[in-house]
Structures are given as C-alpha cells and as structure tokens.
Amino acid sequence: MVCQICGAKSGYYPLCKNCFKLKDEGKITKCEDCGKWKKGAKPLCSECWLKSNKSKQKVSDNHKISDVEVEEKNFRSKFPATYRTEDGHMVRSKAEQIIDNWLYNKGIVHAYERKVPIEEDLYSDFFIPIGKKVWIEYWGLEDKKYLKRKELKKKLYKKNDKNLIDLIDKDVANLDDVLPKKLRPYLPSNFSFD
C-alpha cells in the first residue's frame, strides 16, 4: 500500500512513518466529509470544501423534497445502525457489516452512509473517495416499497453522473470474486487487492 499523503510505501497502513508522525502532531488529519487523509487541521479537504460550497449554492429556493428524500429519511429511522464493523462504523445490517469489513481489510478507504453531493438529500451505503469516486449500494430487501426506492435512487445516481456499484445478497456471499472486478475500473491503477 502507498501513503495517501506523499505516495511512499506504507506497508499495510494508509500513511507512511513520516506522515504518521505529522498526524500525531496534528499537521495531517482526515477530511470529515470524504475520509481522505490531508495536510492541515481544517475539517474538510479542498475538494470537499469546494463541493460543499457548490451544493449550498445549488439548492434553489423552490427545491421540492422528492420521494427519494422522504424514503431515505424514513428508511434511516426505521432501520437503526446496530452492527459495529472492524473499523468502528455502525451499520444497519449483517451484509453491510461484511462489506465494510471487506473494504477495511483490503485497505480501501471508505465512508459509510455518506451524503451524495447532489441537490437531493441522498445517502449512499458506502463511498470510496480514492481513484475515480464510486458509491456502493447494497440492495438487501425485496418488498415493493423498497424496490421503488431502489429505482428512484438509481435514477438519481445516473442523472447526476455518479459511479455506482450495485450489490445484492448473492454478491455479498462471494465478495472476494465479485467486488474486485466491480471496483477495478474506479481504483488507482497501482492499487493491489493483496
């Protein structure tokens, strides 16, 4: 693995020895939005700060709350996050716990339930900020209302040109075979799953 700050070899860690020292001194911190390591003590990296400002400007006064936004809010309150992952995230299902642990053990920087930077209030199951940014959705239910929510969310990802990876139960049962193939086009070319 390479250091996310300077690009030096870092073994199994996201930061090299020198950058880790700078982290202890408070000169390197994680972005509160995307989870990337960055220089400085400001809460957001420059990219997330710019997006934050753009999204504030983007929301118009006549913005109407969509069905997806209502469904997202209802879903998040109906299914509380009760499963703890190896990296400390609290997730909503055993399958999400398996996905999160897989990403963590492969050294893939990720965030759980991150707001997608679009006008609508949409949250992804997982967000991977390295390489070409990609959002992962795990579709775990099959009832009619959930399937409608799924289609509405997929349309928003497509409409806003966001990279989306879909996972279902069958995929979770074979993550070592499925996820590297789905992630490869979005991760840096030098990324290794070993």
DSSP string, 13-51: SSS-HHHHHHHHTTSEEE-TTT--EEESS-SS-HHHHHH
| Most confident stretch, 7-16, 44-53, 151-160 | 151-160
pLDDT band at 188 (very low <50, low <70, confident <90, very high): very high
**pTM value surpassing 0.85:** no
Which tokens go with 82?
A: 């009760």
Position 56 pLDDT exceeds 60:
no
pLDDT in the model for residue 164:
97
- Distance CA(13)–CA(150), nearest Å, equals 35
Range in 7-21, 77-91, 141-155, 160-174 the model is least confident about:
7-21
CATH 3.40.960.10 in the chain, residue ranges: 64-183
**DSSP secondary structure letter of residue 76:** H
pLDDT band at 74 (very low <50, low <70, confident <90, very high): low
pLDDT in the model for residue 63:
56
Q: Which residue has the tokens 């679009």?
A: 118
- Distance CA(156)–CA(68), nearest Å, equals 9
* CB 106, CB 96: distance < 8 Å: no
* CB 146, CB 168: distance < 8 Å: no
**Domain with residues 64-183, CATH architecture:** 3-Layer(aba) Sandwich (3.40)
Q: What is the pLDDT of residues 93-114, one digit of tens each?
A: 999 999 999 999 999 999 999 9
- What is the number of helices (H) and of strands (E) in the chain? 7, 8
